[in-house]
Amino acid sequence: MKEKEKEQRLIFAAIFFGILTQFPFLSISNHPTLKVNIFPALITHIFIVWGLLIVGIVLILYRNRKKGTNDNPFPNPNPPKE
């Protein structure tokens, strides 16, 4: 995947998950009932959105990588000198 396309997808993911944490979506799950009899619905919503954000970023960064290549998405800014 080209770097420009990765950058655009990461920006889209940040905006999309930012929208999911704003008032209209949080108010849907802001009620006193419990999910899984442990956590309130609001806390469950926040952790699910957070987890999906992490999975989405990983999928965007590591998509279409060939096995065995050293294509690090976070290159070392100070490579060792030989």
pLDDT for the residue 70: 61
pLDDT tens-digit profile, the chain (82 residues): 678 888 999 999 999 999 988 988 888 888 777 666 677 888 888 899 999 999 999 998 887 666 656 666 666 777 777 6
Phi, psi (rounded to 5 degrees) for 40: -65, 155
CB 15 within 8 A of CB 56: no
DSSP output for 10-79: HHHHHHHHHHHTSHHHHHHT-SSPEETTTEEHHHHHHHHHHHHHHHHHHHHHHTTPPTT----SS--SSP
Phi, psi dihedral angles at 71 (to 5 degrees): -90, 80
